């Protein structure tokens, strides 16, 4: 199985080379693709006891409480540019992009334990770690309703991967049962690691007096237009718009500026302050700071079908009133941890009375100590 898999990933690499070279010139991928697929400025780790791996910024941020409490020499690998930048902000020196599968046998050095978050089931990462004598742990593991059928369909493949994973820490009991069904061993329910620590404010914004602050959080392509088409704003509302991806800042600014002009509203970017009807946050890392002053949060990624929602825990920690679209399938376990989320369709948005909504609240916090004990175990 190993030789067949390695042959296939080598074949995929050479077939994808022209596409990878093309993408490497795009701003979004100009650092991640050369690093992951050509090892540009991406040497092996300097040597550590614990190797953590996460995909993107959300997973990286969720690891912060674990990193803070691990008295170990830590290395961290990521997939995305935002995840890489976020990890460097932690003060960790040993941060790398995870190389593509074919490079890992030659790239990975010896260490004690590999800790991988959520669904980052890259076979070579676990196989090479075991060959190097490390324990392998999957944390925050879950099997969503949408992916359950796919996991079962390719059960033989996932059983092969899980044969190289020593311990699994699942988000819930249903995840534990599903993971065991597809081959996971030593599964422990420890809850969602995103509940381990309350989000920290890095900058204090002064909320405008007598204004109700409505935040469009982590919006995606065309989602701003769809929401504003159906959202009824009053003259006392301040609308904060926070796009999910920085490459969209310019296009969203053009749309909002035109939208405001057509309706006689004022518009500014956030560096000009909050004294306007519509404010665009065109900076990364500000969403938590804006949650702290928001009365209502429209949790985006849920009003378009293909995304599957975003993390509701952060606005819930600040007691914001949360409104979500119907398409939150990727965040269903997190939604179950939050009380008073109002779910509606786009057409129902203009019928919602925000004043009647209840403040959101986090219902359950995961077991960080159990997880830390498992990572620190010297077996």
Strand, coil or helix: what is 50? strand
Please tell me which of 86-95, 147-156, 190-199, 224-233 the model is most confident about, judged by mean pLDDT. 224-233
Give the angle subtended at the CA of 117 by the CAs of 152 and 62, to the nearest 5°: 135
Cβ atoms of residues 342 and 322 within 8 Å: yes
- Cα dist from 370 to 54, 104, 192, whole Å: 20, 30, 12
Where are the CATH 3.40.50.11720 domain residues in the chain? 2-191+367-376
Give the angle subtended at the CA of 266 by the CAs of 261 and 267, to the nearest 5°: 90
pLDDT tens for residues 321-343? 999 999 998 888 789 889 999 99
Residue range 2-191+367-376, CATH number? 3.40.50.11720
Residue range 212-362, CATH number? 3.40.50.2000
Q: Is 105 left (phi over 0), alpha (psi -120 to 50) or beta?
A: alpha
Query: What is the spatial distance between Cα 320 and Cα 218, in angstroms, rounded to a whole number?
Result: 15
Tell me the mean pLDDT in the region 156-171.
95
The rounded Cα 49 to chain-centroid distance in angstroms is 25
Strand order in the sheet with 296-299: 267-269, 278-280, 237-243, 212-219, 296-299, 321-324, 341-343
Strands 296-299 and 267-269: unpaired
Query: What is the spatial distance between Cα 17 and Cα 187, in angstroms, rounded to a whole number?
Result: 38
pLDDT tens for residues 35-77? 999 999 999 998 788 999 999 888 888 898 898 888 778 899 9
115-137 b/e (C-beta count within 10 Å ≥ 16 → b): bbbbebbbbbbbbbbbeeebbbb
Where are the CATH 3.40.50.2000 domain residues in the chain? 212-362
pLDDT tens for residues 236-251? 999 999 999 999 999 9
Give the global pTM. Answer: 0.74
- Residue 364 binned pLDDT confidence (cut-offs 50, 70, 90): confident
- Cα dist from 1 to 34, 160, 165, 183, 366, whole Å: 29, 8, 16, 16, 36
- Taking all residues of the chain, what is their mean pLDDT, rounded to a whole number? 92
Query: What is the spatial distance between Cα 56 and Cα 53, in angstroms, rounded to a whole number?
Result: 10
Model pLDDT, residue 70: 85
Strand spans (E) along 43-120 = 50-53, 74-78, 95-97, 113-117
Strands 278-280 and 267-269: parallel
Residue 262 has pLDDT above 90, yes or no: yes
Please tell me which of 63-77, 186-200, 291-305 the model is most confident about, judged by mean pLDDT. 291-305
- Residue 93 binned pLDDT confidence (cut-offs 50, 70, 90): low
The DSSP code for 207 is P
* Residue at token pair 């909320």: 207
The DSSP code for 231 is -
Q: Is 2 left (phi over 0), alpha (psi -120 to 50) or beta?
A: alpha
Q: Minimum mean pLDDT among 158-172, 195-209, 210-224, 245-259: which range?
A: 195-209
Cβ within 8 Å of residue 8, ≥6 positions away: none
Query: What is the spatial distance between Cα 99 and Cα 247, in angstroms, rounded to a whole number?
Result: 24
Helices and strands, counts by H and E, the chain:
16, 16
Model pLDDT, residue 62: 87
Query: What is the spatial distance between Cα 300 and Cα 312, in angstroms, rounded to a whole number?
Result: 10
């Amino acid at each position: 199985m190993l030789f067949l898999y390695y042959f296939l990933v080598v074949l995929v690499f050479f077939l994808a080379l022209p596409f990878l070279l093309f993408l490497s010139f795009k701003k979004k991928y100009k650092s991640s693709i050369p690093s992951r697929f050509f090892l540009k400025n991406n040497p092996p780790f300097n040597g550590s006891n614990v190797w953590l791996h996460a995909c993107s910024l959300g997973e990286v941020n969720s690891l912060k409480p674990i990193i803070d409490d691990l008295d170990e020499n830590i290395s961290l690998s990521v997939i995305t540019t935002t995840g890489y930048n976020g990890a460097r902000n932690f003060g960790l020196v040993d941060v790398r992009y995870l190389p593509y599968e074919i490079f890992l046998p030659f790239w990975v050095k010896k260490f004690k334990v590999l800790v991988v978050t959520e669904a980052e089931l890259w076979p070579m990462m676990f196989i090479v770690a075991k060959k190097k004598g490390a324990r392998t742990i999957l944390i925050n593991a879950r099997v969503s309703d949408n992916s359950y059928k796919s996991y079962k369909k390719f059960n033989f493949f996932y059983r092969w991967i899980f044969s190289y994973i020593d311990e699994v820490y699942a988000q819930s009991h249903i995840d534990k049962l599903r993971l065991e069904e597809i081959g996971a061993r030593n599964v422990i329910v420890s809850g969602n690691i995103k509940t381990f620590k309350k989000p920290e404010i890095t900058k204090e914004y002064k909320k405008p007096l007598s204004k109700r602050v409505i935040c469009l959080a982590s919006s995606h392509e065309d989602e701003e237009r769809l929401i504003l088409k159906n959202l009824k704003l009053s003259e006392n509302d301040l609308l904060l718009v926070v796009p999910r991806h920085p490459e969209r800042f310019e296009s969203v600014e053009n749309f909002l500026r035109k939208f405001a002009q057509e309706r006689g509203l004022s518009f500014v970017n956030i560096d000009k302050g909050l004294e306007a009807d519509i404010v665009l946050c065109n900076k990364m890392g500000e969403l938590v700071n804006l949650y702290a002053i928001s009365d209502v949060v429209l949790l985006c990624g849920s009003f378009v079908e293909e995304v599957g929602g975003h993390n509701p825990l952060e606005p819930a920690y600040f007691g914001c009133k949360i409104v979500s679209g119907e398409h939150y399938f990727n965040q269903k376990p997190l939604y179950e941890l939050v009380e008073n989320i109002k779910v509606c369709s786009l057409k129902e948005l203009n019928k919602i009375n925000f004043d009647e909504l209840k403040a959101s609240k986090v219902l359950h916090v995961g077991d960080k100590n159990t997880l830390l004990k498992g990572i620190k175990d010297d077996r």
